[in-house]
Amino acid sequence: MKVLVIGKGGREHALCWKLKQSPRVTAVFCAPGNAGTALDVQNVAIEAHDLRGLAQFARREGIDLTVVGPEEPLTKGIVDLFQREGLRIFGPRRDAAELEGSKVFAKELMRQAGIPTADYRIFRSAPDAEHYVLSREVALVIRSRGRSTIRNTIHARTAAEALDAVERILDPREMMGPGVQVEIEDRGTRKAYSSVVEARDAVLSCPVGLVVKADGLAAGKGVYVCGTVREALTAIDQVMIRRVYGQAGDRLLIEERLDGRETSILALTDGRTIVPLASSQDYKRALDGDQGPNTGGMGAFSPTPMVTPELMQQVEREILVPVVHALKRARRPFRGVLYAGLMLTNQGPKVLEFNVRFGDPETQVILMRLKSDLLDAIEAVVDERLDSTALEWDSRPSVTVVMAAEGYPGPYERNRVIQNLPQVDAMKDVKVFHAGTKPRPDPEPGRGPRVVSDGGRVLNVTALGDDLAAARDRAYQAVRAVRFPGGIYRRDIAEGIDATPTA
């Protein structure tokens, strides 16, 4: 069988690597791929958004099965297009991919299906959204100091009331003498201001627990976890007024901020049967100790003790089964891999988001442990016979460490030559999945192409070990052996985990 994988990241390299191991696979192509997929399989120079070009290639080459990595082609309808042309493809159709493509759609579906998630409101205009933020409950006490016509103490229940109070107190027309000040008491701390600008600023700094989200796809961005009124107003401004995500910001969601620990669960589904994949835990922040900005993911490990068998069952019962059924009832049957991003709150797991594809870098650690034939599992989804499929996992844990370009997730340099990769790949139970790399012809004749960096997240150095500590040690040993000038990585992936193997 000939298989085509669409995408160019570490996830796609892992998919290619695993699919190639299937005895039924004769050729694997990756479009457009990276330097790693060029070594393991065959790259095709077609971008993931060129749906027609991909379908033409699949037809011309006689591809038997296509596997889609990223969300964008799915939300643009690549599965619908391939199916219309009689081409077999793994992934949800456009209308089911809306689950990731529109946060508004996902939230409304969850509400209808009674799936636990943060409370939310939907907005179509910036003033409405701002009004909502300013009418959130706050607890500020505003007092006038000095001679003013305004009564002494005002208990403001919302930021709007507080702003109104400070503006009235500091309105020169209300002052009956010089030296009038406004005092703002916020959770026992009092401070006095003579300037309206400073007093307004203090009100806007008061805490609220809100999350502002652009409705549409925003390349992993477009979500603002806001600690203050000002942050929430700034987020609305970015999404709806400055429109930094374009049309993705036509609608906006504001939801309550949830507290707890985050995890994710991935499952295969053919629209009826659900087969969860091994659990995994990823690291989103750029720096050790979960500091620094959010990224696409700096590392992961599998399995995670956070996902106990009981939690897995609860998530299946309360989240995965209801969402798959709700999509079916809505005549948008979901076939593919469903990714539930979860917050484990005091009231149980709640959904932060759904993705409609494999996670990156979770897939790298999950596939490293998959013993079953991935092609069999994927075909069972496509042919709607997942009920006869059981997956077998390596009991050994896996760890992946992302090597990124210095500066990521901010601006970074490309085209750094990376060396020693064949030696690292030859280490036992180690696999280097390439993410942002490309091959560059070696200037010396007769030598193969060099690997150069071509993205923010560059390599996913992945290892298995007898226990989590051994897997981590091996992964870091491999990371240290990679010669990547300007490469950075977190040093605490899979560290400090009480690793009782679970799901």
**Binding stretches for ligand AMP (CB under 6 A):** 118, 211, 213, 223, 225, 255, 257-258, 262, 341, 352-353
Q: How many residues does the chain have?
A: 503
Nearer to ligand AMP, 223 or 418 (CB): 223
Residue at token pair 């009981």: 310
d(CA 165, CA 182): 9
Enclosing H/E stretch for 2: strand 2-7
d(CA 381, CA 88): 11
The Cα angle at residue 306 between residues 304 and 307, in degrees rounded to 5:
80
Nearer to ligand AMP, 258 or 377 (CB): 258
Could you tell me the smallest distance in angstroms from the CB atom of residue 262 to ligand AMP? Answer: 6
Nearer to ligand AMP, 235 or 471 (CB): 235
Could you tell me the smallest distance in angstroms from the CB atom of residue 328 to ligand AMP? Answer: 24
Nearer to ligand AMP, 33 or 216 (CB): 216
Beta bridge partners of 453: 437
Q: Which amino acid is at 332?
A: R
d(CA 74, CA 91): 7
Collapsing DSSP to helix, strand or coil, 452 comes out as: strand
Nearer to ligand AMP, 148 or 280 (CB): 280
Contact 375, 67 (CB under 8 A): no
Could you tell me the smallest distance in angstroms from the CB atom of residue 118 to ligand AMP? Answer: 4
Residues 6+ apart with CB under 8 A from 310: none
Nearer to ligand AMP, 1 or 218 (CB): 218
Nearer to ligand AMP, 305 or 341 (CB): 341
Contact 224, 211 (CB under 8 A): yes
Could you tell me the smallest distance in angstroms from the CB atom of residue 218 to ligand AMP? Answer: 9
Could you tell me the smallest distance in angstroms from the CB atom of residue 69 to ligand AMP? Answer: 18
Could you tell me the smallest distance in angstroms from the CB atom of residue 352 to ligand AMP? Answer: 4
Residues 6+ apart with CB under 8 A from 275: 267, 268, 269, 377, 386, 389, 390, 391
Nearer to ligand AMP, 103 or 450 (CB): 103
Nearer to ligand AMP, 242 or 257 (CB): 257
41-55: b (≥16 Cβ within 10 Å) or e: bbbbebebebbeebb
Could you tell me the smallest distance in angstroms from the CB atom of residue 255 to ligand AMP? Answer: 5
Could you tell me the smallest distance in angstroms from the CB atom of residue 175 to ligand AMP? Answer: 43
Could you tell me the smallest distance in angstroms from the CB atom of residue 76 to ligand AMP? Answer: 19
Contact 394, 369 (CB under 8 A): yes
- Give the residue from 273, 252, 164, 162 showing the smallest Cα distance to 208: 162
Enclosing H/E stretch for 241: none
Cα dihedral: 239, 241, 247, 250 (round 10): 80
Could you tell me the smallest distance in angstroms from the CB atom of residue 355 to ligand AMP? Answer: 8
d(CA 176, CA 156): 23
Nearer to ligand AMP, 189 or 346 (CB): 346
d(CA 294, CA 298): 9
Q: What is the largest CA-CA distance in the chain?
A: 89
Could you tell me the smallest distance in angstroms from the CB atom of residue 329 to ligand AMP? Answer: 24
In angstroms, the first-to-last Cα distance of the chain is 32
Q: Which amino acid is at 234?
A: T
d(CA 111, CA 391): 32
- Give the residue from 160, 229, 162, 166 showing the smallest Cα distance to 192: 166
Nearer to ligand AMP, 53 or 227 (CB): 227
Residue nearest to ligand AMP (CB): 353
Nearer to ligand AMP, 15 or 258 (CB): 258
Could you tell me the smallest distance in angstroms from the CB atom of residue 342 to ligand AMP? Answer: 9
- Give the residue from 147, 233, 145, 149 showing the smallest Cα distance to 184: 145
Nearer to ligand AMP, 17 or 224 (CB): 224
Residues 6+ apart with CB under 8 A from 375: 1, 3, 19, 22, 24, 25, 65
Could you tell me the smallest distance in angstroms from the CB atom of residue 81 to ligand AMP? Answer: 26
